[in-house]
Structures are given as C-alpha cells and as structure tokens.
Amino acid sequence: MSETSAASEQQQPELRRVMGPKLLLLFIVGDILGTGVYALTGQVAGEVGGAAWLPFLVAFAIAMVTAFSYLELVTKYPQAAGAALYTHKAFGLHFVTFLVCFTVMCSGITSASTAAKTVADNFAVGFDLDISDNVLMLIALLFMAIVAAVNFRGVAESVKANVVLTMIELSGLLLVIMVGFWAMAGGDADFSRVVAFDTAEDKSVFLSVTAATSLAFFAMVGFEDSVNMAEETHDPARTFPKIMLTGLTITGIIYILVSICAVAVVPVGVLTESPTPLVEVVQRGAPDIPIDDIFPFITIFAVANSALINMLMASRLLYGMANQAVLPPFLGKVHRTRRTPWASILFTTAIAFGLIIYVSNASDDAVSVLGGTTALLLLGVFTVVNIAVLVLRRDTLDRQHFRAPTALPIIGAIACAFFVTPYTDRDGEQYEVAGLLLAVGVVLWVITWLVNRAIRAQRTYFKDPTDL
C-alpha cells in the first residue's frame, strides 16, 4: 500500500454541516432556557425581593457583552472547541488551554448530570411512583445513555430532537407568562411587589443584587455552547452574529417577563420556599388548570433538552481540542458512517455516569450549588475569552469577520472577573466544588502531557513519516 493511500485512510472525515439559521436559533434558545429558570427563580427573589427581574437583567447584559467577544472569535476561527481554542491561539500555553477546556467541559457535563437526576425525580412525581433512590439513579443513568445514543446517531438527529424539546420547553414558560398577565388583568396580582426590594438585614442593595446575579447568571449561560457547533453550521461567519444576538434577546425577554409574573402573582416568601416556584405561580394565577399533572412532564422535557445540548457541546469540545493536540488524539476519532465524534461521546458519557452517582447522594440544594458552580466556572472562562479577543487583534486575516467594539471586551472582562470574586457574596461551597474540579483538571493535564510525550517519543524512535 502506498504512503498516499495510507495517509488517505488515516485522514478523519469532516463533521457534517446540517445547521442553518433556524436550527441554530432553536439550538441557542433551547440551550439557554432550561434548569436555571425553572429552579432558581424563587432563590433569586429570595435575595432581592420583588425586584427579581433586576438580577436577570444584569446577567443578560453581561452575557450580551460577552457574546460580542464570542462572535468575533467564532467568525474569525469557525472551528469546534470554542473558548479553549481561542485561549490556545491567544496565549499558546497548553496548561492554560487545558484548564479552560476542562472547565467548560465540566460545566456542561455537571449541568447535564444534574438535569438527568431532575428528569428521574420528575418522572417519579409525574407518574406518582414511590421508588427508592437507587431506582431513581438507574433511571437517570438510563436517560443519560439515551442522550449518548441520540448524540452518536448524529447532530441532525440531536438538533431535530432539540427542536421538539425547545418548543415544549418554551410552552411551559409562555404558560407562566400568560397566567401572570391573566392574574394581573383580573386583579389577582400585586404589581407593586415588582419594584420592591426586600434584602437581608446584613446586606446592602448592591450586595444583594450581585449575589442574586451570581445565581441568575446560571440561567443565562448556554449561548457559548453554540460556537462548538461551528464546523457543523452552514456559513458560520454570516450566520452566527445575527442568530446568537437574536437568541440571547429572546431568552432575556422571557426571563424578565417570567420573573415579573412570578413575584406579582406569588408573595416572595412563598416563592422562595417553594421547590417548584413556577408551578406555584400557575397554581395561584389559574387554580383551575391541572398543573400538578402537567408541569412535571414539561420540566422533564425542559431539562432533557439542556442535557442533550450540554452533552453535544462537551463531546464536540473534546473532539476539537484533540485535533489541536491538547488532548490525546484518540478523542478526535470520528465514526466513518455516522460522522460523529464517537470517542469523545463515550468519554463524556462515562464522566456523566460518575457525576450522576455523586449528585444522587448530594444534599437538597444540589441544584443551587452546582448551578452556582457552573456559573462561577464559566464566568472565569468568559473573563479569559474577553481578554483573548483583544490579544488576537494582532492576528489579522485576509477575509472579513465580525468585529466587536473594543470597549465591550474590556467591560466584559472586568464584569465577569468581578462576579468570580467573593465580593458578590457567593456561597463558599461553590468555590470548594470549583477548586476540587480544577484540582482534578491539573491531574488530568499531567496525565495528558505524559501520554503525548510518550507518543512523540515513540514516533521519533520508529521515525514515523508523519513527524518527518
């Protein structure tokens, strides 16, 4: 066999480009909407009182500023891997790149694993089943296996599933908004609560808003996942700017309307104590609707959508970084028939299985801790991305691409860095979890470095033609 034929067989097929503007918009909207707004609206209101819309507005503003940085980079480098790729190109430090890659991956897999557990819990509630925690864990593992199967089947199938799940997900939030407006029109809502601050005695308004924003930001993350789908999007340089900004605007408006309706219909104290705050809103605003039978299944579809998109993102992230030689090349393997990154899908699913077992034994506030940790880690990544935009301005290209106003990456870097600090009154347990994850990342980086060193040594010893 000739060297040309051998090289042709070793060449990996490209990922299939199946995402147009409509599918990309639904992908972004479906990724942002999900567990955060369904679970954390009451806790955000608990920090600031009736002005629960304000932290969502601040989180939306920070996300929008950072989205401009992502748009410049994804149109400049339309490849999978997202923030990790941009970090690698800007700073060229494998250790920093690996940590960014690992941080983003962990945020996606942790979010998906939490969603899997939520699916199992709502499955039991929806069908009124009295089952043990071990059975719930098995249901969550089965759900994650189904997600992996859809992911392996192909991005077209994954995105089509996302379309269906996103529409169901939107229906639940639109139901909350319509019920809120109905209650306001009928005089069953207290709109004065919407502008009332009710903070803890030992907190200033500023500190309460920043603490609530730290929680609300978890509901805004997801737009950054879409850049990992750049290699599977038609004409990403033209498609991404309008679609990403449109998706962020849609979700921002929905969140603000949901938070206003929630505090207007339900007293803040009741909203904060309820484990299902949006169910409480519909029950009080429209008591004749059999919401107890409907909402558990709407929640299942909402968080299932988040899990699917997060696992889709995580697998593409590992695939992209394997092609950049930051991770072992095995993770970059693509199935020749399905043309999906099967090795990275298996790897991320295995990690998710481990996290599901952990989450199943966690405390009742696991969603708050994991959600806050996810936001904490991603805010750190966003800080790096905003800085990377400015650094990569020295790398000029012959073709046109989106360019963010210079002031926006600067504002984004400062804002994101501030919300990483303890000055936002963030729960200390979130820092502990984030520190543990980063420590694991350091260990994995050492293992990866040793594996890559061994591969290079072997190729040199046998004089592999790819090194010549």
What pLDDT does residue 9 have?
39
Q: 108, 313 in Cβ contact below 8 A?
A: yes
Residues in the chain: 468
Alpha-carbon separation of residue 428 from 10, 145, 431 (angstroms): 48, 33, 5
Residue 74, classed as helix, strand or coil, is helix
What is the structure's pLDDT at 6? 40
| Of 253, 224, 260, the residue nearest 374 (C-alpha) | 224
CB 386 within 8 A of CB 409: yes
User: What distance in Å separates the CA atoms of residue 286 and residue 374, rounded to the nearest whole number?
Assistant: 34
Question: What residues have CB less than 8 Å from 184, skipping those under 6 apart?
Answer: 191, 261, 264, 265
| Per-residue pLDDT, 468 | 44
Q: What is the largest CA-CA distance in the chain?
A: 81
SS3 for 122-150, per residue? HHHHHCCCCCCHHHHHHHHHHHHHHHHHH
Low-confidence ranges of the chain (pLDDT < 70): 1-18, 35, 80-81, 155-160, 162, 200-202, 228, 275, 291-292, 321, 324-326, 359-360, 362-367, 459-468
pLDDT tens-digit profile of 160-203?
Answer: 676 787 788 788 888 889 988 888 888 888 888 888 887 766 67
Look at residue 272 in the predicted model and tell me its pLDDT: 83
Q: Where along the chain do its domains lie?
A: 17-441
- Which residue's structure tokens are 């936001």? 375
Give pLDDT, residue 465: 52
- Report how far residue 109's alpha carbon sits from residue 107's, in angstroms, rounded to the nearest whole number: 6
Q: Which CATH class is domain 17-441?
A: mainly alpha
